[in-house]
Each structure stands twice: as structure tokens, then as C-alpha cells.
């Protein structure tokens, strides 16, 4: 009888409770026949670079419409989407909920929940940091306290789970687990960061069985691993480095077939309370990494024998957690550790010199204010989309920018909400834009939520 009651509660009550968190505003416009669309199943974008392949997107943001919004708990994760399913994780009190929502209307399809005792020692909320990953019919999630989960995309049933913190004796770091796991072939790659190793572990993605482990120098960072093809061979690039005394960390280049480390390149701030959090970007046979806390960025060229050559270093692009966007011979990123001191920077990839660096700001009237006040983009996010740059400010402004080596131009902008800690990159799938508001709206008082906007033309 108890089992029947649990099943009834799961099938009937949980969706009702979840839908109470949902407010539907309008249906999106039909997708244009000329539009190119895609699922977005991985962190930042497919390929883990902040680039969207979507086209025919709305550029006049004064016409943007809210489709739906879903009230959420603690979390710094971004949603991922496949077909009509959107996966998002958050925590309410001591329960972590992995939600599967209908991407078009926000209605709950399923919810998987588990108990978490994580308590952030800096007061930044107790929910998940790393985003989910969808691979085929499976969903992967690495929780803030080390719970590594594999769920069925169709119904949310657990396939396997491991607590990496317990298994590898990993103590709590500054902000818990924040790196998103990586699917590479049959492997699930995790930057575990155990004190004496392993730093990186590969699991069988279907069973959770450990297949290999490697590295013993560095702890887990807040950057996510990427997989790339260099000189015709697949490699894993892991930007590691966590809570250690003295602070150490850097870039690891790993052969996914053998677990052999080609090289370990040290790159980490000398400050004790510092983190590596910006995901590497790769183009050609070059890799760029960057960190804040007076660290800067460096471009490496990977040689045919998988050694490296340092092409240049710069103190002009200190990315705290955003990942720069590379376009042609230039890259664009937000530099700085503090919001008020952050700048938008364009770096010449050939020379490492800054083509320009400016404070991205504008004047705007706030609610019930007669005078305009300066508004800063601060530590926001940038993605390349539809030939332009779609940018989300740290407080909830959405902007379309045009950028090149001579400067930037604001094409359109709109305040969508006013909330601090808007640190999740924008997500676009099938012409719908998904944004995450992580704190209470200072003007409307609305609680944290996921918001879906219509970018279809």
C-alpha cells in the first residue's frame, strides 16, 4: 500500500506542485522556414564554446516577449535542451531537484529529487553549480556535494549514481562542485580533484564503472573540461586547480584512450582564496586559458608531439568565470574579478595585445526615477549568435552587440529583470532564449526563476 501511495504521489502530486511554480505568458511564434535551429545539450554550447548556431533571431529587443517563467530554488546552473525536454537542477531547502520541463511551455514532465546537506561556507546558496549534460537518452549531473547521477531522459529514472566526494575522499572546496562533467565517446570525464589524486576520472557513461584515473598534482577547479581534436587526435583539456595551500593549478592535456598526460601547464593565481573557473577555448591547435585574481590569460600552441609552446601571455584578459568568444583573429571577453572594475576586452590572437578595452556601460532611467543613471554590464556573459553577440549583464540586461577589432556598438538592449548574480550564460534552442535569474528581482520583488523568451522572427 505504501509503494502505491508513493507512486501516486510521484505521478499526480509532484507535477501539480511543480506546475504551481510555473506561469505561462504566451506561445512563441512559429519557427521561420529560413531559421537554423539546434538542440543545446551541453554546457555553454555544443562543443563547449560560447557559440550558438541558431539563425533568424529577433534583434529588436524592445519586441521580445516572455513565453513562460518557472520559480526556482538555489542554483547557478544553466538549462540544457533536447527536443521538447529542458533539464535544469536547483535546490529547495535540503532537497536537490532535477527538473525535466517542456521547453516550449515550461510544464513539468518529470522531477528527480534527492537530499543534500551541502552548506556553502561563503553564503552563496546551497544548490548545484555544474550544469546537466544530455547524451542520447541519458542525462548526467554532478551535484555540489559530489553526487554524480545518470538518469533516463524519458522518465527521469536513475540508471546509476556515485558520490565522488566519498569515493575519492574529496573535502569540501570553496564553493563545492561546480565543474560540468564531459561526455567523450563512451567515457564520462569528471574533474574529481582528490587531494593526492586522482585529479581526473573517466567513468563508463552507461554503467558508472571507473575506467581510468590520472593526475595527482591539482584539485578540482570550477572550469569545465573540453574535448578537442589536435593534430588529428582526440584530447581532453582540463583546467584544474582548487582549494590548496599554496594555491596550484593549471591546464592538463590528456589522451582519453590511455589516460596519459601529455603535459601539465601551471596557471593559477598566487592568492590563496582564488579559483580557476573559465572554461578553456580551443581553435586550430591552439588553446587559451584565463583566470582572475591578477593572473591573466595565456595562449598555447600544441605541438605534434603534444608538448606545448607558449605563444604569449596577457594581463589584459583576466576572466573570472566567463568563457571568451573567439572569432577569426580576435577574442572577446569580460576581464576582472570585481563587478565595478570589469571591462570588455578585445584581444588580437596573433600578438596577444589588446585591440581595445572599455567599460561596457550606458545611462538608463530606473523605475520611478526622473534622472538617468549609469548602468554597467559588469561580470556578464557573451555568446556569438546569428552573426552578432548576444550578451547578458550581471543584473539582467540583455544586449545585442556588434564587435570587431575597432570597438563595439550596442544594437539593442532591454532590462529583463534586476537581480544580482546573473552569472549563467544565455541558452538558445529552437529560437527560444532561456535565462536564469539567480536572486530576487530588486524592482519587482519576484523570486529567482528560469525565464523563456521568444527570439523567433
pLDDT digits (tens, 9 = 90+) for 293-348: 999 999 999 999 999 999 999 999 999 999 999 999 999 999 999 888 999 999 99
pLDDT of residue 1 exceeding 60, the answer is: no
pLDDT of residue 420 exceeding 70, the answer is: yes
Query: Is the Cβ–Cβ distance between 178 and 129 less than 8 Å?
Result: yes
What SS3 class is residue 15? Answer: helix
What is the rounded average pLDDT of the residues 150-173?
97
Q: Is residue 113 part of a domain?
A: no
- CB-based contacts of 387: which residues, under 8 Å, 6+ apart? none
H helices of 121-268, where?
164-167
Q: How confident is the model at residue 38 (pLDDT cuts 50, 70, 90)?
A: very high
- How many whole angstroms separate alpha carbon 40 and alpha carbon 25? 23
The whole-number pLDDT of residue 123 equals 84
Core vs surface per residue 18-51: b (16+ CB within 10 A) or e: beebbebeeebeeeeeebebeebbbbbbeebbbb
The whole-number pLDDT of residue 125 equals 86
Query: Is the Cβ–Cβ distance between 126 and 116 less than 8 Å?
Result: yes
Query: Is the Cβ–Cβ distance between 389 and 383 less than 8 Å?
Result: yes
Q: Is residue 236 part of a domain?
A: yes
Q: Is residue 116 part of a domain?
A: no
Query: Is the Cβ–Cβ distance between 303 and 269 less than 8 Å?
Result: no
In the block, cell 550581471 appears at: 394
What SS3 class is residue 340? Answer: helix
Query: Is the Cβ–Cβ distance between 87 and 71 less than 8 Å?
Result: no
Q: How many other CB atoms are found less than 10 A from the CB of residue 378?
A: 21
Q: Is residue 340 part of a domain?
A: no
Q: Is residue 257 part of a domain?
A: yes
pLDDT digits (tens, 9 = 90+) for 54-99: 999 999 999 999 999 999 999 999 999 999 999 999 999 999 999 9
pLDDT of residue 133 exceeding 60, the answer is: yes
Q: How confident is the model at residue 242 (pLDDT cuts 50, 70, 90)?
A: very high
Q: Is residue 283 part of a domain?
A: yes
The whole-number pLDDT of residue 16 equals 54
Q: Residue 318's Cα: distance from chain center in Å?
A: 18
In the block, cell 596577444 appears at: 352
Q: How confident is the model at residue 14 (pLDDT cuts 50, 70, 90)?
A: low
The whole-number pLDDT of residue 334 equals 98
Q: Are strands 51-52 and 381-385 parallel, antiparallel or unpaired?
A: parallel
What is the rounded average pLDDT of the residues 150-157?
98
The whole-number pLDDT of residue 295 equals 97
The whole-number pLDDT of residue 5 equals 55
Q: How confident is the model at residue 442 (pLDDT cuts 50, 70, 90)?
A: very high
pLDDT of residue 7 exceeding 70, the answer is: no
Mean pLDDT, the chain, integer: 95
- How many whole angstroms separate alpha carbon 317 and alpha carbon 267? 14
Q: Is residue 264 part of a domain?
A: yes
Query: Is the Cβ–Cβ distance between 219 and 241 less than 8 Å?
Result: yes
The whole-number pLDDT of residue 405 equals 98
pLDDT of residue 26 exceeding 80, the answer is: yes
Bond from prior residue into 352 cis (ω within 30 degrees of 0): no
In the block, cell 506561445 appears at: 27
The whole-number pLDDT of residue 365 equals 85
Rg (C-alpha) for the chain, rounded Å, is 21
| pTM of this prediction exceeds 0.85 | yes
pLDDT of residue 4 exceeding 60, the answer is: no
The whole-number pLDDT of residue 166 equals 97
The whole-number pLDDT of residue 61 equals 98
In the block, cell 525535466 appears at: 100
SS (H, E, C) 393-428: CCCCEEEEEEEECCEEEEEEEEECCCCCCCCCCCEE
The whole-number pLDDT of residue 121 equals 84
Q: Is residue 34 part of a domain?
A: no
pLDDT > 70: what percent of the chain? 96
pLDDT of residue 128 exceeding 70, the answer is: yes
Q: How many other CB atoms are found less than 10 A from the CB of residue 285?
A: 16
Query: Is the Cβ–Cβ distance between 179 and 144 less than 8 Å?
Result: no
- How many whole angstroms separate alpha carbon 335 and alpha carbon 348? 15
pLDDT digits (tens, 9 = 90+) for 162-215: 999 999 999 998 989 999 999 999 999 999 999 999 999 999 999 999 999 999
CATH number of domain containing 201: 2.40.128.630
Closest of 184, 7, 153, 6 to residue 81, by C-alpha: 153
pLDDT of residue 144 exceeding 80, the answer is: yes
Question: Per the structure block, which three cell numbers stand in for 450?
Answer: 528560469
Number of DSSP helices (H) and strands (E) in the chain, helices first: 3, 36
pLDDT of residue 439 exceeding 80, the answer is: yes
Q: How confident is the model at residue 371 (pLDDT cuts 50, 70, 90)?
A: confident
Q: Residue 261 is part of which domain span?
A: 179-221+223-320
Please state the domain count of the chain. 1
Amino acid at each position: 500500500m505504501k509503494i502505491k501511495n508513493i507512486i501516486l504521489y510521484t505521478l499526480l502530486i509532484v507535477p501539480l506542485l511543480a506546475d504551481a511554480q510555473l506561469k505561462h505568458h504566451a506561445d512563441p511564434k512559429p519557427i521561420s522556414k529560413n531559421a537554423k535551429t539546434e538542440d543545446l545539450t551541453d554546457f555553454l554550447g555544443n562543443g563547449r564554446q560560447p557559440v550558438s548556431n541558431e539563425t533568424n533571431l529577433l534583434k529588436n529587443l524592445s519586441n521580445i516577449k516572455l513565453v513562460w517563467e518557472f520559480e526556482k530554488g538555489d542554483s547557478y546552473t544553466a538549462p540544457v535542451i533536447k527536443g521538447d525536454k529542458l533539464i535544469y537542477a536547483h535546490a529547495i531547502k535540503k532537497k536537490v531537484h532535477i527538473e525535466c520541463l517542456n521547453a516550449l511551455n515550461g510544464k513539468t514532465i518529470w522531477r528527480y529529487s534527492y537530499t543534500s546537506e551541502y552548506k556553502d561556507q561563503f553564503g552563496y546558496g546551497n544548490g548545484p553549480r555544474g550544469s546537466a549534460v544530455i547524451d542520447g537518452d541519458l542525462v548526467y549531473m554532478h551535484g555540489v556535494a559530489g553526487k554524480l547521477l545518470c538518469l533516463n531522459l524519458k522518465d527521469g529514472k536513475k540508471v546509476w549514481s556515485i558520490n565522488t566526494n566519498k569515493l575519492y575522499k574529496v573535502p569540501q572546496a570553496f564553493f563545492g562542485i561546480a565543474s560540468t562533467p564531459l561526455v567523450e565517446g563512451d567515457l564520462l570525464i569528471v574533474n574529481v580533484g582528490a587531494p593526492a589524486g586522482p585529479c581526473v576520472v573517466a567513468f563508463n557513461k552507461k554503467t558508472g564503472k571507473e575506467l581510468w584515473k590520472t593526475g595527482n598534482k591539482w584539485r578540482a577547479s570550477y572550469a569545465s573540461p573540453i574535448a578537442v581534436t589536435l593534430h588529428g587526435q582526440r584530447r581532453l583539456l582540463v583546467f584544474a586547480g582548487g582549494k590548496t595551500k599554496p594555491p596550484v593549478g593549471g591546464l592538463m592535456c590528456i589522451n582519453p584512450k590511455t589516460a596519459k598526460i601529455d603535459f601539465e601547464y601551471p596557471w593559477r593565481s598566487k592568492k590563496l582564496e582564488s579559483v580557476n573557473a573559465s572554461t578553456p577555448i580551443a581553435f586550430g591547435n591552439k588553446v587559451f586559458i584565463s583566470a582572475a585574481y591578477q593572473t591573466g590569460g595565456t595562449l598555447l600552441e600544441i605541438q605534434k608531439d603534444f608538448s606545448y609552446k607558449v605563444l604569449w601571455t596577457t594581463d589584459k584578459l583576466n576572466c573570472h568565470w566567463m568563457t571568451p568568444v573567439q572569432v577569426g583573429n580576435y577574442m572577446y571577453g569580460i576581464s576582472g574579478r570585481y563587478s565595478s572594475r570589469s571591462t570588455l576586452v578585445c584581444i588580437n590572437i596573433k600578438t596577444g595585445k589588446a585591440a581595445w578595452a572599455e567599460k561596457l556601460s550606458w545611462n538608463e532611467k530606473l523605475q520611478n526615477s526622473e534622472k538617468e543613471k549609469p548602468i554597467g554590464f559588469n561580470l556578464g556573459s557573451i555568446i556569438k549568435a546569428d552573426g552578432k553577440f548576444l550578451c547578458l549583464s550581471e543584473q539582467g540586461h540583455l544586449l545585442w552587440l556588434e564587435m570587431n577589432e575597432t570597438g563595439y556598438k550596442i544594437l539593442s538592449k532591454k532590462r529583463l529583470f534586476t537581480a544580482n548574480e546573473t552569472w549563467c550564460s544565455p541558452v538558445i534552442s529552437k529560437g527560444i532564449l532561456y535565462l536564469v535569474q539567480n536572486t530576487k528581482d530588486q524592482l519587482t520583488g519576484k523570486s529567482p526563476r528560469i525565464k523563456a523568451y521568444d527570439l523567433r522572427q
